Chain A
Amino acid sequence: MPRMQAPESGITVRMYRQGHGDCFLLATRKTDGSAFYMLIDCGLWTNSEIKPEQTIDKVIADIAKATGNRLDVVLVTHEHMDHVNGFAKKDPETGKPCFDAIEIGELWLAWTEDGEDDLANAVRAHFHDTLLALMGADERLDRAGLAAQSPQRAMLRDLLSFETGEDAADELRKRLEKIRKRHPALSAREQAELAIEGITNKRAIKYLRDRIEGEPLFLRPDREPYMLKGVDGVRVYALGPPRDVELLLSLEPRGEEAFELLTDSLTLSLLTATMVGEPEDAPRSFDPRFGMSRRDVEKGHDPFMKTFFTSRYGAKGKRGFAQAWRQIDNEWLAGSESLALRLNNEVNNTSLVIAIELPLTGKVLLFTGDAQRGNWISWAPLNWTVGGRTVTARELLGRTVFYKAGHHGSHNATLDGSVDADYPNISWLAQGAFKNDFVAVIPANPGWAKQEKNWEHPRRSIETRLKQKARGRVFRSDVDHVERPEDVSAAEWEKFSRVERDLFFEYTIPDALA
């Protein structure tokens, strides 16, 4: 397979069609005439391949060939399996990471990954707490005898997979158990941190950090636009993630202490109740002289208690007990699903959102990762001073001619609204002269998502809206050939030049004045 060519002007985007996940390779021309390559994300949900033979290994091999084994920049939007697990992928024969063959120049990450940033550290600590709490909840549901696929657990486990990058939601738990045995002297907190370090998503990022010289670049919306080394004029603006905690997370900041986040009570109590081996070992709510373990009650240590409890509440696992419908063994864990959803949203919301601006035409390519509502809202007031001129986020969005649909086109990741709305939304994109050049891409495998997970990815209304706006020019991973809508003339469609392969689509945004 030949090298991927940098276009004469502008940027060529190669969208890989690996499955439910993101992987984009961008090429542009350096001043010395050679190609500059940037990779944005690399991952997919296990078994979500569009075509069984187009595996992630093939994608990585293609990246290596296309770039001549050299990526100038690898950019990771956020730490979810379908964006990063490709970086942790190992060659089954050699056991070495597939990316080993590719040289990596720089690593670009969102500021939330910056270990020197107090707010970032607080955000990550909050994520880790929630993750551990969810792991604990799943463990308790497991012990209560609920099957992994039972409605109470299925969603929780899917979301755990997202956060850890592991196919098996139990992976984190197993890891923690191992670490407890190996490092008994460490505190529970330290053990947990160690266990989290070992999960696939974390290993993927660590792998990338180890591969580069020096430190990654942590992008922030309140910083000057970033430049590509050796490339003239192309500017990369970071729109998100927001520094405003209220927009970033669904939590409120804790008053005066700036960088400590208030852990919500459910997370906290799930942590205290489940971070121990047996329920009986958990910290008591009352003095130990109060309360008797259910096991002891049922054994009849106190005949009165046994009669009272088993006749009213029922003995554990006893079938056919008339009052069994009133038992509440697992009700306290019911909140974990909404907690998991919240964590997923919050991590999505830490997505690094970039607007790549071409120097001549001012055209913009917008990559939003999986940014959610709060992230979108936060772009509204952003502005930068470039060469003495003020560039606003609104202006950048207005010049956007290439849009990577957020979160596989799902609910709340592409905001709907009008041009007049005071928050960024789909109508803000591609205004005026840029209107006719708008193209969108949706990395998604809707058939798999619907059948295996019952997710509406992409959401029909969003896809329809994008198709209207782009006059049909919307790439979706699972659609081999973009089809011309009836209301678009053949002559117009002719101009929509593109490459459609089994492994990827390719589309060029030229930067030439007409």
Chain B
Amino acid sequence: MSVMSTMPPRKLRIFAFDPSMGRRHETLPLNEVTVAIPWEMDKIDPGVPFVGPVGEYVEVIDFDPSLDLVYAPVNLHDPALLAEDGLKPAEWNPQFHQQMTYAVAMNTIVNFESALGRVALWAPRDHDEKGKWINPEYVQRLRIYPHGLRDANAYYSPAKKALLFGYFQAGEGQSGAPAGTIVFTCLSHDIIAHETSHALLDGMHPRFIEATNPDVLALHEAFADIVAIFQHFSFPEVLKDQIARTRGDLESQNLLGQLAQEFGQVLGRGAALRDALGGVKDGVWRAHAPDPKVLRRTEEVHARGAILVAAVFRAFLSIYRSRIADLLRIASSGTGILPEGELHPDLVNRLAQEAAKSARHILLMCIRALDYCPPVDVTFGDYLRAIITADHDLYPEDEHNYRVALMEAFLAWGIVPRDLPIVSVETLLWPTMPEAAADYEASVPDIAGLKSAVGYLLSRPLDMIDELKTRSDFRGSEGQRFLEGLDKTAQEIFEEMNKAMGDRLPEKARRPRASVREILARNLLELGLEADRRVEWLARDLYGRLFWGLVTEAKSAPLRQVIGIRTDAEAPATVRRSRIVDAPAIEVHSVRMAARRGKRDQFEREYVVELTQTREAYLDPKDQEAADKGKAPKRPHDFYFRRGCTLLIDADTFEIRRVIRTPGDICDDAELERMRAYLRKQAAGRENAFATSGVRAVRPEVFAHLHRQQG
């Protein structure tokens, strides 16, 4: 064991872009990069085979159903491969394909974990094959099928928790591949990173695949593109060549835009990106000037997503430009004008490093923002606020004006939060508890009293369970089942912890009953990257249920008012009711940890708690009115209307620091109408002559459809 923790990272070679670069003489040397994956991610003893690869997070299963062929899994611990950083990039070898999908997916996970400071979890399985809801099950590994489709398509399947990559025969005019040869999507760094990001985002926000406004799916796509592009840019090697070729041109950053556009070229993907970022005119690539009006008239998911990517890219360029200003002055003896001829290799290296650093910074900012989004019905404006707030809370001082750069870029593209009269870096911050309380005219002292309750819950979960057992408002059998469930999960956590810690736990600590208390007395979410992922999953679930207990208590009424959670009996009959207590239901999604930096540069941790409420909704307002009064039509409801709130709670003081609400609450008919109008419009656009598909906020295999549309 001790050997493992000191192991150097697992290094694996991949194609930097895709195989097409290796076919061009001038780009041949650029085509290979090595990724380093911390050994702790897949703690497999180097002495035993590592096949598949099937590790802790992902499992590569190389089965091609169209040919009914199984490709032998690679063994990354084959001594020859261990010594050589894995297989050499090769299109002709399916085992390299396995290695590449594994390496890029893992690298994406590493970036997520380092941005969020906790282990990554996949979305649980909560529907069976027939689409029926089941109790959420833990899914340990994302499955990867490198040759699962025969199409210019690749997608993340939320139903199978799997990435499916396609391959296809290049046609005439296919960029980068001679006609008749096979193009493998699983050999494109950007496509693997893109699909893995969908899966990671789904793991954090399973409701973000519900297309309840034009931004939700567009954000999914844009986010996946952002991760792919900026993860790519964080390899300094791939940027060097581009930067060297710019020579004295101060607009050198433009070439980075061109590079970003090569994204997924083999798939014909990125057409939307191409349009949004810029284009070649008179032989020179130029970034498009941002147009704040485009967003308003753009509805299509990819085109809309591309606008978000363009905004983030613009911010990246301005950050990069400011970071290299001094270097350019130094290199040009203060004139800012570089001499003719090739750039000095040292300068190229430094510029590339700055670009890579800027890219990494943007990447982490964009990932961290996910903790600061509302749990449902997210918009681009929410995402802007999330980026700004998350960065503010981590780095209170905005030394390099990154936040201003982002805000400026978003505003330039017309991305403005709803109902925010004055837009500045300060007003974009999500409200603190006192601010939110003032907005909703709640009394702050009442809420302050909650601090101790939250602290109690998080630090002494078993006592909290005991206390819940004294609640008088629980319904008989359902309440009983709920309480038993808590005990069961606590016990499960204990067993898993024991298993995970193995010989790390001293002999005497393994006495059953006392140890449950011992183990649960510590805050399980504070384990961060050390956590066993299954324990983390169980713990999030347990704390979520405890938090539910807290929020539903009578004395929490002022809190519920501020966070927009309704528990009054008069709520419309369509608002989903709790089975445990006699009131509208509240779903506590997950309680997880996020990292932030305190005023004195020390790391502090905070809890992210997401609460949502659900209401059955109808397209016809008359049906809605009747159903709200308890006279639901005989047919099933048309869609779900959800509202919710994300709370950020200081892990030391238990103070609620940020309140991130969706506009309106679950009883808000105006918000419901807004969603209804959007869904109705979508349904009309999606129809074909043979299926009037009606409204579906969630399509089965949503990404398969989205990606196919684009191809």
Interface residues of A (CB under 8 A from B): 140, 155, 158-159, 254-255, 257, 260, 262-266, 268-270, 272-273, 279-280, 282, 284-287, 290-295, 297, 302, 305, 308-309, 312-313, 324-332, 334-335, 338, 341, 344-345, 348, 407, 410-413, 453-457, 459
B474 interface hit (Cβ, 8 Å): no
Instruction: Looking at the assembled complex, report how far the CB atom of B529 sits from the nearest CB atom of chain A, in whole angstroms.
Output: 27
Contact A334 B704 (CB under 8 A): yes
With a CB–CB cut-off of 8 A, which chain B residues contact A327? 160
Contact B171 A268 (CB under 8 A): yes
Contact A285 B689 (CB under 8 A): no
Closest to A271 in B: B169
Instruction: Looking at the assembled complex, report how far the CB atom of B255 sits from the nearest CB atom of chain A, in whole angstroms.
Output: 26
Contact B160 A285 (CB under 8 A): no
**A273 vs B18: C-alpha distance in the bound complex, in angstroms?**
25
Q: Chain A interface: which of B101-109, B140-148, B382-390, B582-590?
A: B140-148
B57 interface hit (Cβ, 8 Å): no
Contact B150 A266 (CB under 8 A): yes
**A273 vs B147: C-alpha distance in the bound complex, in angstroms?**
13
With a CB–CB cut-off of 8 A, which chain B residues contact A335? 151, 153, 704, 708
Contacts A331-B65, A331-B149 given: A345-B171 contact, CB under 8 Å? no
Contact B689 A325 (CB under 8 A): no
Instruction: Looking at the assembled complex, report how far the CB atom of B195 sits from the nearest CB atom of chain A, in whole angstroms.
Output: 14
Contact A294 B168 (CB under 8 A): no
**A264 vs B148: C-alpha distance in the bound complex, in angstroms?**
18
With a CB–CB cut-off of 8 A, which chain A residues contact B54? 312
Chain A proximity mask over B93-130: 1 for CB below 8 Å, otherwise 0: 11100000000000000000000000000000100110
**A334 vs B157: C-alpha distance in the bound complex, in angstroms?**
13
B564 interface hit (Cβ, 8 Å): no
Contact B150 A254 (CB under 8 A): no
**A104 vs B261: C-alpha distance in the bound complex, in angstroms?**
59
- How many B residues touch the partner, as a band? 35 or more
Chain A proximity mask over B135-176: 1 for CB below 8 Å, otherwise 0: 000000001010111111100010111101011110111000
Contacts A273-B66, A326-B160 given: A308-B73 contact, CB under 8 Å? yes
**A266 vs B148: C-alpha distance in the bound complex, in angstroms?**
13
Q: Which of A302, A309, A332, A410 contacts B150 (CB 8 A)?
A: A332
With a CB–CB cut-off of 8 A, which chain A residues contact B692? 411, 456, 459
Closest to A155 in B: B690
Apart from A269-B151, A291-B67, A411-B688, list 11 A-B contacts with CB within 8 A.
A262-B173, A265-B152, A285-B182, A286-B93, A290-B93, A290-B94, A293-B69, A293-B70, A326-B161, A331-B704, A332-B151
Contact B70 A455 (CB under 8 A): no
**A264 vs B168: C-alpha distance in the bound complex, in angstroms?**
10
Q: Which of B73, B149, B691, B704 contacts A155 (CB 8 A)?
A: B691
**A407 vs B661: C-alpha distance in the bound complex, in angstroms?**
47
- Per CB-CB distance, the 4 closest pairs between chain A and chain B, nearest first, are A269-B150, A265-B168, A291-B69, A410-B689
Q: Which of A260, A273, A292 contacts B70 (CB 8 A)?
A: A292
With a CB–CB cut-off of 8 A, which chain A residues contact B708? 335, 338
**A457 vs B152: C-alpha distance in the bound complex, in angstroms?**
33
Instruction: Looking at the assembled complex, report how far the CB atom of A247 sits from the nearest CB atom of chain B, in whole angstroms.
Output: 18
Contact B128 A329 (CB under 8 A): no
B687 interface hit (Cβ, 8 Å): yes
**A73 vs B320: C-alpha distance in the bound complex, in angstroms?**
72
Contact B94 A411 (CB under 8 A): no
Query: In B39-95, which residues have CB < 8 Å from any A CB?
Result: 51-52, 54, 59, 61, 63-73, 92-95
Contact A308 B52 (CB under 8 A): yes
Instruction: Looking at the assembled complex, report how far the CB atom of B131 sits from the nearest CB atom of chain A, in whole angstroms.
Output: 11
- Between A282, A330, A412, the greatest number of chain B beta carbons within 10 A of the residue's beta carbon is seen for A282
A–B pairs, 23, beta carbons within 8 Å: A155-B690, A262-B171, A262-B172, A265-B166, A265-B169, A273-B66, A273-B67, A280-B67, A284-B69, A286-B93, A286-B94, A297-B70, A305-B70, A312-B54, A326-B160, A332-B166, A335-B704, A344-B689, A344-B690, A411-B688, A411-B692, A453-B690, A455-B690
B701 interface hit (Cβ, 8 Å): yes
B664 interface hit (Cβ, 8 Å): no
Closest to A266 in B: B151
B711 interface hit (Cβ, 8 Å): yes
Interface residues of B (CB under 8 A from A): 51-52, 54, 59, 61, 63-73, 92-95, 125, 128-129, 143, 145, 147-153, 157, 159-162, 164, 166-169, 171-173, 182, 687-692, 701, 704-705, 708, 711
With a CB–CB cut-off of 8 A, which chain A residues contact B145? 328
With a CB–CB cut-off of 8 A, which chain A residues contact B704? 331, 334-335
Contacts A279-B66, A286-B92, A291-B64 given: A411-B687 contact, CB under 8 Å? yes
With a CB–CB cut-off of 8 A, which chain B residues contact A270? 150
Contact B65 A330 (CB under 8 A): yes
Contacts A262-B173, A269-B151, A338-B708 given: A326-B143 contact, CB under 8 Å? yes
Instruction: Looking at the assembled complex, report how far the CB atom of B517 sits from the nearest CB atom of chain A, in whole angstroms.
Output: 33
Contact A305 B161 (CB under 8 A): no
Closest to A285 in B: B182
**A274 vs B548: C-alpha distance in the bound complex, in angstroms?**
54
Closest to A453 in B: B690
With a CB–CB cut-off of 8 A, which chain B residues contact A453? 690
**A457 vs B690: C-alpha distance in the bound complex, in angstroms?**
8
Contact B172 A257 (CB under 8 A): yes
- Between B129, B150, B152, B166, the greatest number of chain A beta carbons within 10 A of the residue's beta carbon is seen for B150
Contact A334 B94 (CB under 8 A): no
With a CB–CB cut-off of 8 A, which chain A residues contact B148? 328, 331-332
Closest to A286 in B: B94
With a CB–CB cut-off of 8 A, which chain B residues contact A282? 66-67
With a CB–CB cut-off of 8 A, which chain A residues contact B182? 285
Closest to A267 in B: B151
Instruction: Looking at the assembled complex, report how far the CB atom of B568 sits from the nearest CB atom of chain A, in whole angstroms.
Output: 39
Contact B169 A292 (CB under 8 A): no
Contact B701 A308 (CB under 8 A): no
Closest to B688 in A: A341
Closest to A338 in B: B708
**A453 vs B689: C-alpha distance in the bound complex, in angstroms?**
11
Q: Which of B68, B153, B711 contacts A280 (CB 8 A)?
A: B68
With a CB–CB cut-off of 8 A, which chain A residues contact B59? 312
Closest to A296 in B: B70
Instruction: Looking at the assembled complex, report how far the CB atom of A344 sits from the nearest CB atom of chain B, in whole angstroms.
Output: 8
Contact B164 A287 (CB under 8 A): no
Contact B143 A332 (CB under 8 A): no
**A348 vs B705: C-alpha distance in the bound complex, in angstroms?**
23
**A254 vs B171: C-alpha distance in the bound complex, in angstroms?**
10
With a CB–CB cut-off of 8 A, which chain B residues contact A454? 691
Instruction: Looking at the assembled complex, report how far the CB atom of B70 sits from the nearest CB atom of chain A, in whole angstroms.
Output: 5
Q: Which of A285, A332, A341 contacts B65 (CB 8 A)?
A: A332
Contacts A254-B173, A332-B149 given: A269-B72 contact, CB under 8 Å? no
Contact B689 A413 (CB under 8 A): yes
Contact B160 A272 (CB under 8 A): no
- Between B69, B167, B173, B688, the greatest number of chain A beta carbons within 10 A of the residue's beta carbon is seen for B69
Q: Which of B94, B164, B688 contacts A328 (CB 8 A)?
A: B164
Contacts A291-B64, A308-B51 given: A285-B147 contact, CB under 8 Å? yes
**A158 vs B688: C-alpha distance in the bound complex, in angstroms?**
14
Closest to B162 in A: A326
Contact B69 A269 (CB under 8 A): no
**A68 vs B172: C-alpha distance in the bound complex, in angstroms?**
54
- Between A265, A266, A294, the greatest number of chain B beta carbons within 10 A of the residue's beta carbon is seen for A265
Contacts A254-B173, A285-B182, A410-B689 given: A290-B151 contact, CB under 8 Å? no
**A111 vs B504: C-alpha distance in the bound complex, in angstroms?**
80
**A287 vs B692: C-alpha distance in the bound complex, in angstroms?**
45
Contacts A255-B173, A332-B148, A332-B150 given: A345-B63 contact, CB under 8 Å? no
Instruction: Looking at the assembled complex, report how far the CB atom of A226 sits from the nearest CB atom of chain B, in whole angstroms.
Output: 29
Contacts A265-B168, A269-B150, A293-B69 given: A325-B690 contact, CB under 8 Å? no
Instruction: Looking at the assembled complex, report how far the CB atom of B85 sits from the nearest CB atom of chain A, in whole angstroms.
Output: 22
**A345 vs B687: C-alpha distance in the bound complex, in angstroms?**
12
- Between B151, B182, B690, the greatest number of chain A beta carbons within 10 A of the residue's beta carbon is seen for B690
Contacts A255-B173, A263-B171, A455-B689 given: A309-B63 contact, CB under 8 Å? yes
